[in-house]
Structure 1
Amino acid sequence: MNEAGIGRIEAIEALTRKSLWLASWMVHHANHIRPNVDGVKVGGHQASSASMAALLSSLYFGVLRPEDRVAVKPHAAPVFHAIQYLMGRQAKEKLVDFRAFGGAQSYPSRTKDSDDVDFSTGSVGLGVAFSAFASLVQDYVRAKDWSRKDVPEGRMIALAGDAELDEGNIYECLLEGWKHGLRNCWWIIDYNRQSLDGVVREGLYERIEGIFAAFGWKVVTLKYGALQRAAFAEPGGESLKAWIDACPNALYSALMFRGGAAWRERLSDEIGDQDEVSALLARRSDDELAALMANLGGHCVESLLEQFEAAGSEQPTVFIAYTVKGWGTPLAGHKDNHAGQMTGDQIEQLRRSHNIRPGYEWDLFEGLDHPDALQGFLDRVPFNTRASRRLTSPVVPTIGPQLLGTGPTSTQAAFGRILDAIAKTDSELARRIVTTSPDVTVSTNLGAWVNRRNLFAPGEMADLFQKEAIPSTQKWRFGPDGQHMELGIAEMNLFLMLGAAGLSHSLFGERLLPIGTLYDPFIARGLDALNYACYQDARFLLVATPSGVSLAGEGGAHQSISSPLIGMAQDGLASFEPAFADELAIIVDWAFDYMQRSGDARPDLADWPRDVTGGSVYLRLSTRSIDQVPREVNSLLTNSVIGGAYWLKKPTPECDVVIAYQGVLASEAIAAAARLGGDRRNVAVLAITSADRLNAGWQAAQRARLHGDKSLSHIEDLLSEIPHRTGIVTAIDAHPATLGWLGSVLGHRTIALGVEHFGQTGTVPDLYRHFEIDAQAIETACRHFIPRA
């Protein structure tokens, strides 16, 4: 008990009740009081928030330190926002506008919310796995001799509903965490035994416990609260405990909804004919009996604090917290309560039970005793620091494009050589790069980098082949100084790792420049996690190779078609597909700068929106070698490559046709132009390095013109050099829609060539001819725009 007459547990229990009320009222206000201008359901999750009220309150008001990072169960967003409001980190107006434009977000968002969100959790399951990779990144950073010593080691914590454990990425993550010695990670499962559409199957607890134990996790079960444990110690208590343990999930939920009288009737019928048990029940009123049966471990602040404070950090720990969905509300236990909301009568019932006067619903301590003492308690909460929990790290200088020779090469091979050239330097840039790959390190040309910079592990591990004098091109040593994180074959894990590493500057105060490589067609396998990483504004370089049907011998399963469209559509990701090594060198150097940018200017009115604030970068590369163009790399070429396109063969006023290509089809475009040139026709060749940059710049320029800005985008400038009668033939080893929009820029007639169907095995000439993207097909398409003599 403190000097103000309120103890720690009593204070957190009071703040739990307040958080529960605010969360419930927030959803009710959004759906039933705030005007609904479009008639669309607003939604919210009163029951899912209620089941986590005590869990979140015990963490934020009792256990967490500022260096700890938390991924909150997405459906518990209302109670999270309420807790932030109580700590002064969220404005009342944001709660009033919950799920409205400019208000608190439906699910905690690192980039959209104004309160203290560590990890966005809008996509179920991903926030859970993300916390584990954040812990691995923290260990990586702290192992380096350049890491900050003033940033304490934090715990990476995720709170998840039991239904989220259906998500496959969680189990992929468990295996990866075991391989890398995961530590400093807590997962807290809201085991309310209900999912979106009903009650979970019996026996789930045993499966959860067994799976986590198999991967080396400590399993802590929070099943009984302090009231229940006290009752079990009474005469007849063991019989009550045995009944609770044997009770099916659906029955327990139903009795929770029906209340104390129903509990008494059921317990009296099944175990109450014993004198001791009958007396145990008789000593409690219906309300007291209902409170006893609802006093599961996940709702008992005393039990939660006891277990959280006893848990260590060296072993990953999962807390299985038994809860009731809708706890503390009239919705408690009903199987339809996931998306259900309290009626007007029910919210009034809750209001009365919390002593909330009409008109005082948003007041911090309305209905609570000792408001001054509670405010004093909040001021002393360790997590409630006034300092920003988002850290900063200086920008790492780039070292300029690493230019290569002029012999034939593929962009994939050129990437490996560029990275090897950086690895040879003693630059800060080289030290801050961390690479990762889902078991395709060698086949994506990271081998030379790893040979020079080694693989990361907390302790030294020798290369056994090298130790046994067995010849091998891969000299892979593991150690704390290593700069490559090797992953298993799971693209979801790759993007979660890139996301966590790409937030290291903010989470741990040390900037990393993460590079992830994978096969281009398998981007789709991790697309949810890629989108999630970009949504958090994580910064990384994604290198996808090999790509397209140019990977001729591998067949349709390994040949990508739609990935350039993914690169164009994905927010927060600038995508490029260079053809030549010098283009790639320019882009890689630019990418390291772009990944570190931040700013508050109007990015929506910039020539390319993200140029102001930066983002992540995606490179689509090829294994097919092509002849290089000998030329000087000057500022004009550099700016054009980054802008997205340049004239490889400039047009004249008599230009009949433009061949616009992206990527590896440069050879076919050049060959087709040469054939047409033999007929003395004027043919221009437009080298496109980024359809994404061109399209986004064009879209931004059109929006800017609506605001009175008359400037042209880069692609408008380029195409303004050709007559309106000129035709455009686009060619790409990917879906033709990637470049097909070029004709819409200034109204030129356009034929778009590309790949629309699954590939197959064969030689490059066979497949190019089959899909009509070879030089002959490009020439044939061009002749449709050339007047006959």
Structure 2
Amino acid sequence: MTDQRIATIEALTRKALWLSNWMIHHANHIRPNVDGVKVGGHQASSASMAAILSALYFGILRPEDRVAVKPHAAPVFHAIQYLFGKQSLEKLQNFRAFGGAQSYPSRTKDTDDVDISTGSVGLGVAFTAFASLIQDYVRAKPWSRKDSPEGRMIALVGDAELDEGNVYECLLEGWKHGLRNTWWVIDYNRQSLDGVVREGLYDRIEAIFRAFDWQVITLKYGALQRAAFAEPGGERLKAWIDAAPNAIYSALMFRGGAAWRERLLDEIGDQGPVTALLARRSDAELAELMANLGGHCTQSLLEQFEAAGTDKPTVFIAYTVKGWATPLAGHKDNHAGQMTGAQIETLRQSMHVREGHEWDKFEGLADPAATERFLAEVPFNTTESRRRTSPPVPTIGPQFVGTSATSTQTAFGKILDAIAKTDSDLAQRIITTSPDVTVSTNLGTWVNRRNLYANREMVDVFQKEAIPSAQKWRFTPEGQHLELGIAEMNLFLALGAAGLSHSLFGERLLPIGTLYDPFISRGLDALNYACYQDARFLLVATPSGVSLAGEGGAHQSIASPLIGMAQDGLASFEPAFADELAIIMDWAFDYMQRQGDARPDLADWPRDVTGGSVYLRLSTRSIEQVPREADKVLADGIIRGAYWLQPPTPQCEVVVAYQGVLASEAIAAAAAIGGDRRNVAVLAVTSADRLNAGWHGAQRARLHGDAKARSHIELLLEQVPYRAALVTAIDAHPATLGWLGSVLGHRTTSLGVEHFGQTGTVNDLYAHFGIDAATIETAARATMGGRS
């Protein structure tokens, strides 16, 4: 490590610090604000991490490394990308504006080199652990390429992010699976949005990581401080720093050198070596010394990063000052605070930035040409795209599983087992995972055939001891099921990491995650996060609804179809029959791999070109299957969201539209009314999500001038006489289908579940909530004018 290298990275740190602060100031105080709404930004949080980010990006990282940046340090990240030439000036000038650099790093919205989206604090941190596990999973497989080096998965962590429970859930999974190649760098500035952290937190953080077998490296003192400690009286200065309460240290940082001198002389001045140590430094030099914590010292950061040298998971606890090197340093209100015009002017002058040259890349640097040459040689600054690619995996067609009475959950297990029996590329690239409900979500047969994944062979003790068991729990590097504990946040983070394997590691995976449908809400933040990353996976949520009657209200999901409709990047389906499910799953494996480029807001279905993830809401309730040939017309209807199980005639008086397991009740109700020779149509809805999005897509197309645009649901309901009525029924919230009447103006009665259920039989609960065949029939007759 040369002095020149350190000096250059220190200069680039100050450059990144200036650009990040100016970016926020420009967005809030210079750029026109036409609506008067606060723009925001985090100058102090950015300053806190400027040296850490700079040491990593300019000195340590390699192209194969993947980084999750602390959300509030996004401006520093964008500034570094700008210095690399991977971010435009226009994007910086439009930070937090339409089309500009994003408030928080985003894989999908930013154009610079974001590896892992962050924003919902704590999720990006945990994501790196699962990304590392997926990297090991991929490299363990015989089909994977071994021509690229292993990367480190690195999270830059705000200390307040450690308040998030999902961080600790992921630590346990990492320990279980032998986590490797993971670095977390904690910005230990001891401040959060509402104040200064409690004393003694460091000891707890250290103990937690050591308990999970992480290497813990503390960066508390910078090179200046270590040199001062070696002077006469230095040991007493070190002891004072170690004993100083967090709040006192922060307050003195804000007050400056004179305040430091007064406090230190008062508390440890001895008219001897300590006093002499302080006297040898001006107020400015003393302030610099006390601010020279490990997290702000380029030399210390580089030394510790380079010395880590192991694949053991490592946490660096880097002591920092929130607002470091700015007028905001240390103040307890600095989290969302911003510099005044006078303060930014003071900072500008200290950075030797001339007025009118605030955006210039090398303004204020002593040797711009040498700095530019240095940047060109930084290992991380490759000219090749760090987003990797992988060719699509061919699908093998729908795997039909017979016509006997069955549930969609059972059919799912049989379809997956049929795929497992093949030696197809599709079967090899599937990875399954589940939060401790593998067997009860019907993944058991898949796991028995394809085994559980572990980085080393582990015997099934029950099998070895000759104890009969339906489950053959063999762990092996060739296994294709990732065992998880009962934490839904971990499930969605694992799916997100596996669903980005093609981009992060150059190998395509087709992840399938199963969980109980009621507990989607427990991991909803991580599900949204995975979709925001544009990760690709198949989410199978089963069992679901009040049809899970004996489990009671805690396990009877009501709102999940509405979640499926509202969640961007997730196409949701709720099939009733096994052949529908087979067709949807085959389509899903293709949809998960699509990479087209299109205007999502103008497409017939927003992601039919670009692809996305898929959510299946399944049931444990068996129903009779419809004997039929699954031709192209039927398959197209299933995928587009609906088809006529019983088509309307010109004399149609009522349409019964259902989604999911209420098929039996809808068919029985229609038959009862049809017995009176009234014409009743039955609309099988497989995806209210795709129907609704297609309808909105057609509306947008018409607004953009395509007067002939029609959605699938419009074409279906155009066959229904206007005088006819609709009755919708679903084992979930009635709003899922209640909008159908708005498509063409048919009067509509919507049946469903709006309240927590209770235990009982399916018949009891269906009658209680009014979704049984008798109630559907009554509602249908009422919509026909009450005629019998």
**Which band: TM-score by shorter chain?**
over 0.9
From 224, 240, 249, the equivalent of 1:243 is 240
Structure 2 distance, partners of 1:551, 1:36, is 52
Unaligned segments of structure 1, at least 5 residues:
none
Structure 1 distance, partners of 2:234, 2:271, is 11
* Map of 2:203 onto structure 1: 206
* Map of 1:103 onto structure 2: 100
After TM superposition, give the deviation of residue 601 of structure 1 in Å: 2.2
- Deviation string 1:248-304 (CA, Å, 9 cap, x unpaired) is 000000000000000000000000124000000000000000000000000000000
Q: Quick check: 2:441–2:543 contact (8 Å CA) kept in 1?
A: yes
Q: Quick check: 1:185–1:313 contact (8 Å CA) kept in 2?
A: no
Q: Does 2:144 align with 1:137?
A: no
| Code of the aligned partner of 1:756 | E
Structure 1 distance, partners of 2:271, 2:624, is 90
From 555, 558, 562, the equivalent of 2:555 is 558
From 145, 148, 159, the equivalent of 2:156 is 159
Q: TM-score, normalised by structure 1?
A: 0.99
From 417, 421, 443, the equivalent of 1:420 is 417
Structure 2 distance, partners of 1:41, 1:674, is 59
From 711, 719, 722, the equivalent of 1:721 is 719
The DSSP-based 3-state class of the residue aligned with 2:512 is: strand
From 275, 280, 287, the equivalent of 2:272 is 275
The DSSP-based 3-state class of the residue aligned with 2:196 is: coil
* Map of 2:538 onto structure 1: 541
After TM superposition, give the deviation of residue 151 of structure 1 in Å: 1.9
Identity of aligned residues (%): 83
Q: Does 2:774 align with 1:763?
A: no
* Map of 1:7 onto structure 2: 4
| Code of the aligned partner of 1:252 | Y
| Code of the aligned partner of 2:87 | Q
* Map of 1:375 onto structure 2: 372
Q: Does 2:323 align with 1:326?
A: yes
After TM superposition, give the deviation of residue 786 of structure 1 in Å: 2.2
After TM superposition, give the deviation of residue 135 of structure 1 in Å: 0.3
Q: TM-score, normalised by structure 2?
A: 0.99
* Map of 2:729 onto structure 1: 731
Structure 2 distance, partners of 1:203, 1:580, is 58
Q: Quick check: 1:151–1:509 contact (8 Å CA) kept in 2?
A: no
The DSSP-based 3-state class of the residue aligned with 1:407 is: coil
Q: Does 2:776 align with 1:778?
A: yes
The DSSP-based 3-state class of the residue aligned with 2:134 is: helix
* Map of 2:593 onto structure 1: 596
From 470, 474, 485, the equivalent of 2:471 is 474
* Map of 1:179 onto structure 2: 176
1:626-705 superposed matches below 5 A = 626-705=623-702
From 603, 611, 616, the equivalent of 1:614 is 611
Q: Quick check: 2:569–2:612 contact (8 Å CA) kept in 1?
A: yes
* Map of 1:438 onto structure 2: 435
Structure 2 distance, partners of 1:152, 1:216, is 24
* Map of 1:357 onto structure 2: 354
Structure 1 distance, partners of 2:329, 2:141, is 49
Unaligned segments of structure 2, at least 5 residues:
none
Structure 2 distance, partners of 1:785, 1:332, is 68
* Map of 1:511 onto structure 2: 508
Structure 2 distance, partners of 1:13, 1:272, is 32
Structure 2 distance, partners of 1:690, 1:347, is 54
1:282-297 superposed matches below 5 A = 282-297=279-294
* Map of 2:74 onto structure 1: 77
After TM superposition, give the deviation of residue 103 of structure 1 in Å: 0.4
Structure 1 distance, partners of 2:270, 2:467, is 76
The DSSP-based 3-state class of the residue aligned with 1:784 is: helix
* Map of 1:711 onto structure 2: 709
Please give the root-mean-square deviation of Cα atoms over the aligned residues, in Å: 0.8
From 122, 127, 138, the equivalent of 2:119 is 122
1:379-394 superposed matches below 5 A = 379-394=376-391
After TM superposition, give the deviation of residue 404 of structure 1 in Å: 1.1
The answer to which of 578-587 and 143-152 deviates more is: 143-152
Structure 2 distance, partners of 1:527, 1:572, is 13
Structure 1 distance, partners of 2:759, 2:473, is 33
The DSSP-based 3-state class of the residue aligned with 1:605 is: coil
- Deviation string 1:515-556 (CA, Å, 9 cap, x unpaired) is 000000000000000000000000000000000010011001
Structure 1 distance, partners of 2:401, 2:127, is 37
Q: Does 2:414 align with 1:456?
A: no
Structure 2 distance, partners of 1:679, 1:456, is 59
* Map of 1:335 onto structure 2: 332
- Deviation string 1:629-667 (CA, Å, 9 cap, x unpaired) is 000011101100000000000100010000000000000
The answer to which of 491-500 and 147-156 deviates more is: 147-156
Q: Quick check: 1:137–1:500 contact (8 Å CA) kept in 2?
A: yes
Structure 2 distance, partners of 1:412, 1:59, is 47
Structure 2 distance, partners of 1:8, 1:726, is 78
| Code of the aligned partner of 1:201 | R
Structure 2 distance, partners of 1:690, 1:682, is 25
1:559-578 superposed matches below 5 A = 559-578=556-575
Structure 1 distance, partners of 2:198, 2:322, is 15
The DSSP-based 3-state class of the residue aligned with 2:601 is: helix
Q: Does 2:745 align with 1:747?
A: yes
Structure 2 distance, partners of 1:604, 1:23, is 33
Q: Quick check: 2:749–2:783 contact (8 Å CA) kept in 1?
A: no
| Code of the aligned partner of 1:555 | G
The DSSP-based 3-state class of the residue aligned with 1:145 is: coil
